[in-house]
Structure 1
Amino acid sequence: MRIVLQPAARSDKDVNQHYLDTIASPVTFANHSDLLAPDVREHLEQLFPEGTARMWGVVPGKKNVNVSKVQKMSAGDFALFSGDKKIYFAGTIALLWRDEKLAERLWGRNHNDQTWEYMYALSGTQGLDITVEEIRQLLSWKPNRNIQGIYILDHSDSETLQAYLSLEPSTADTSSAPAPDPQAEAAAAVGFDGELERTALRAYRGEQAALKRHLLPGHTGQCALCGRVLPAALLVAAHIKKRAVCTDEEKRDFANIAMLACSLGCDSLYERGYVTVIAGGVLQVSPLAHAVAALQEHVEQLAGRAVPWWTEDREPHFRWHRSHTFKAGTPV
């Protein structure tokens, strides 16, 4: 899966209206049954049993410049919406199809008499707050490069950005995707001759051990998120801000950069962005956690809990987690 960068500046009045009409307010399939092709509606209803989905579209562009780009997009790719020097919204492309009449009904036509007929529905949507400058630095772009026109990142950059933002795949119609080649995968595994243990990894493990000793001097400790007192073996030193983007100074700030999180679920929930800590020290649960019954049941006991580990000194790191990792609701 790759990442599609979708320009959509909400400072533009028309773009903002489109966003409010079909992203902030999901499209109800039954309202457009007269236009939706039967096979498209069938796929949509299978992917979205509730009968609604957030939708977006792409115009063909001058001399059909966007058509070849759209043809490279696949269900399962991530779409990141950008505008006003920020990445502010993301989701998994669940389904792609072409429908000029439906696009015209939803969004009208632009000044070139084109409509956004290359349509896609999004699942697993979330809000983000990432500056384009961060993307430039992360992907080693030129200082003046901006996101202009729909653009599909290559696999390497997509993987880098996916890891940086902790993006989780969601529901998608991948029935037409080529099946993996078991022989090729096996050959890649057998043929790997890279270094399995590296000095950097050993140094990292040493750092983690020292960090945990600082946070947990005894045989038991308290999880910063759920508050349970547990044996040391069930607690990890979890970085509040993703370690990979911490400065050396931040990594060495043992008192503020990390917290104890239990391996019974809190560490993974925080790392994957299903929970976060807001300013003032209250635990907040992602709306996406409610989409899975078992996950919702698990996080209900955490929502609204006071987190004593929060302090003003640690707030910048928690703020980074909220804007980069937490699976926030769709911005309205």
Structure 2
Amino acid sequence: MKNVLDYVLNFKKLMTVKELVEKLDASQSTIYAMARGEKPIPEKVQESLSQIFNIRKEMWGKNLIQPAFADFILEDSSSLNALEREIVEYAKNAPESENYSRVGVQPAGNEIAQKNLPKSIDKRVPESVIMPCIESDLKRDHLQRLSSGKGFYAWGVRSRVYNQWVKLSPGDFIMFAKQGRFFLWGTVALTLRSPELARRIWGNEDELFEYIYLLSDVKKIDKDVKEYNKLLEYSLNNRIQGFLVLDMDKSKKIIDAYGFNRKSFEKEDDGVEKQAGLDSSSNQKDCIEQEHFKSHLFGNRPTGECCICGRHLPVKGLTATYIKKRSECDRQEKQDVNIVVPMCRACDIWFEEGYITVNSSGYINCIDDINSEKIVTTDLLNELTKINGRKCFYWNQENKKYFEWHYNYHRMTT
């Protein structure tokens, strides 16, 4: 699945290509190329598609992968309509590519850029300036965890390069260029459109830099633009004149050549990882963490029970499932052994996605309607019916607050 256009045409079949050709006054070959991701979707076409399908404009220029939709995953789901929530859910669960990070190239040598660099790149923009401009509670919480009180570096571009800006995702890299050299690079933490924040940071310009990207870090680099041109097979005299987001292949060449480190859009708490002995690679860390909590849940027993379906299984078939999403936990909660419960692989999946919840009395509530806004099949409903209304035997006063968080997160926002 390439993008949202591919999703609505080929997966959801909301309209035929012939019908869309008539509405957009475009050729079939152009529409197919845009749906395959071979051709960018112009801003005016995005606006038309937004009206035709009632899907917000900002979604059309993105690939259907989790990093590209990170901003929407962090958004209050009540602000999305049913189709938009379905698209976000699809992107959230799409198989992750190993090389999804893109590189944005930002010219910063003119007079205005030199005036703005000291305001938001040479030093961080404080949280007190940024947070009042973030409407979503989830995004504010995410940024506060990511920032740890330090604030963010920030840059903005004008509306005329919207088609490039909309391609950016958390975890992408930005390279700043002036006088024929790249001199800084940073990692994107979040993108947002905010005229108010632009005024707060850079002042009231005739044309606002309202399409903003926040950077979690900025580091020095010293690379000749000619080297960049040679890597990408451009003319050696090519100049960095406008903001540009490279395609995946070109981005990979730059990332490999310059040694950029791809970062998750969710920052892990280094202090907690070290205390728990988890300061190794991501895969090793996950394994160590599972073993740590499994030891608490099962001790030396070779078997255990899933707290949802009650099946008695070998411990290898059970997981230590976070009741509250780990990414939403603070330092103390991550170390609380009550944050995890034993679940089988199947129940873990449906609990994580909110198909299964536990109410404030400790009883299991499952989605029981084929017309639910989540994707549901008859076979899945039959399985969920078997456990709906059961008492979760692992529910207790110590983990009650975490189950309530999970219930409210999934049921109150859908």
Query: With structure 1 as the length reference, what TM-score do the two structures score?
Result: 0.47
More strand by share: 1
Query: With structure 2 as the length reference, what TM-score do the two structures score?
Result: 0.40
More helix by share: 2
Structure with the bigger RCO (C-alpha within 8 Å, sep 6+) is 1
The structure that has the greater radius of gyration is 2
